Copies of this chain bind each other. A is one copy, B any other.
């Protein structure tokens, strides 16, 4: 089975779960991921815990939520689609007129066949989200809104964490979020690609760096995680990626870190440039996901957000149209590929020094290809350029950028030259 198919199947399995920033949907999601990542640990942060400027809210769980029309037909039922219920809705059991109901309904006149995604974490509300087409068809009469939910002040916020050790204590940090209900690109693509990436890293024969993955609810989860792990992250993390919206087949994009020039920025920029020259670099001002926390003043982790279509920039975003047809095996595979390439660059980059003065005589070492084609010409040029810039000051990534060649084309050539003792490590 391809990685793309594996990831899409995993997303399909996670799809129906009613996730939010707290609650059992989070725990179920983490348990399923743990089947593939046995070392995943799950942590609970008690509701009411102060985390920097924030407080972990009461835990929200729902057993049932249905809106019934005067004629007894079902207008919205969480059992049909988790988006039908306003996130963090308080419990109600009310009969009310259509007029009274209207302020509790959410729909999108511009996308009349989409159910919108709405939440109210920090202000108590209840509501149902439906298509605008359905809303316009509602008839006057008495409606029945019944939401069996609990907001438990003694609950907790759950998150998952996985550390894959490497030779160095220095870490690459991968963050993704698991707080959205049934949406595919802006939610499930992140955790399934992160899971496949962690599985791939675990299988590598050796790792220079340690990898730390977190699966958290967005905003309050990253704030809670940072408030408990800031010192260790600041002392160890040399690069990292927030992974989201990474499963559609449109382009590629990334959101720059606050400083804009960290190692993470450099690596993702290099990789995307060669994978998709039309990728988009969004500046810090366009941020919106957990990079907001990771790069905040005083936190300053070197994190960029890696995406295909950016959150808020594609029409299906935050609606029921963001589904498992928008996200495809090929789309997920492309996202995984970019992250694997980023890790490869981080792992393999090194600065070499040429061991001879003047140009080496490559002919006597059999390093010239026998056939001269356009491809071999490029390869010889790359080899000669690698040698000429390997003065101990330029790493392979530096040279790849100078030559506008992919790192993964130059690095194997550097290995060959190293084996022939023409390059030495410094």
Task: List the interface of chain A (C-beta within 8 A of B).
Answer: 51-54, 122-123, 219, 222-223, 226-227, 230, 258, 284-285, 287, 292-293, 295-300, 353-354, 356-361, 363-364, 381, 385, 388-392, 402-403
Contacts and interface: CB of A to CB of B under 8 A. Distances in A.
Contact of A392 (B54, B285, B297, B381): B297
A208 B292 CA distance: 35
Contacts of A359: 53, 219, 223, 292-293, 296
A53 B284 contact: no
11 contacts: A52-B357, A227-B358, A285-B381, A285-B402, A285-B403, A287-B388, A292-B358, A293-B358, A296-B354, A298-B354, A299-B358
Contacts of A357: 52-53, 226-227, 230, 296, 298-299
A88 B52 CA distance: 74
B360 A284 contact: no
Q: How many copies does the complex hold?
A: 3
A297 B354 contact: yes
Given A285-B385, A285-B402, 11 more contacts: A53-B356, A53-B357, A53-B358, A54-B358, A122-B363, A123-B363, A258-B389, A284-B388, A292-B358, A296-B359, A296-B388
Contacts of A360: 53
Q: Which 6 A-B pairs have the closest CB atoms?
A: A297-B391, A53-B356, A52-B358, A223-B358, A293-B358, A52-B357
Contacts of A219: 359
Contacts of A258: 388-389
Nearest to A363: B122
A18 B130 CA distance: 81
A250 B300 CA distance: 46
A46 to B, nearest CB: 18
Contacts of A389: 258, 297
A220 to B, nearest CB: 9
A201 B24 CA distance: 63
Contacts of A223: 358-359
Contacts of A385: 285
A219 B353 CA distance: 21
A121 to B, nearest CB: 10
Contacts of A361: 53-54, 122
A31 to B, nearest CB: 28
Contacts of A287: 388
Contacts of A295: 388
A357 B293 CA distance: 8
A70 to B, nearest CB: 33
Contacts of A284: 388
Contacts of A403: 285
- Looking at A122, A226, A287, A361, the one whose CB has the most chain B CB atoms below 10 A away is A361
Contacts of A226: 357-358
Nearest to A360: B53
Nearest to A392: B297
Contacts of A392: 297
Contacts of A296: 354, 357-359, 388
A258 B358 CA distance: 13
A321 to B, nearest CB: 22
- Looking at A122, A226, A390, A391, the one whose CB has the most chain B CB atoms below 10 A away is A391
Contacts of A297: 353-354, 388-392
A227 B230 CA distance: 55
Given A357-B299, A358-B226, A292 B54 contact: no
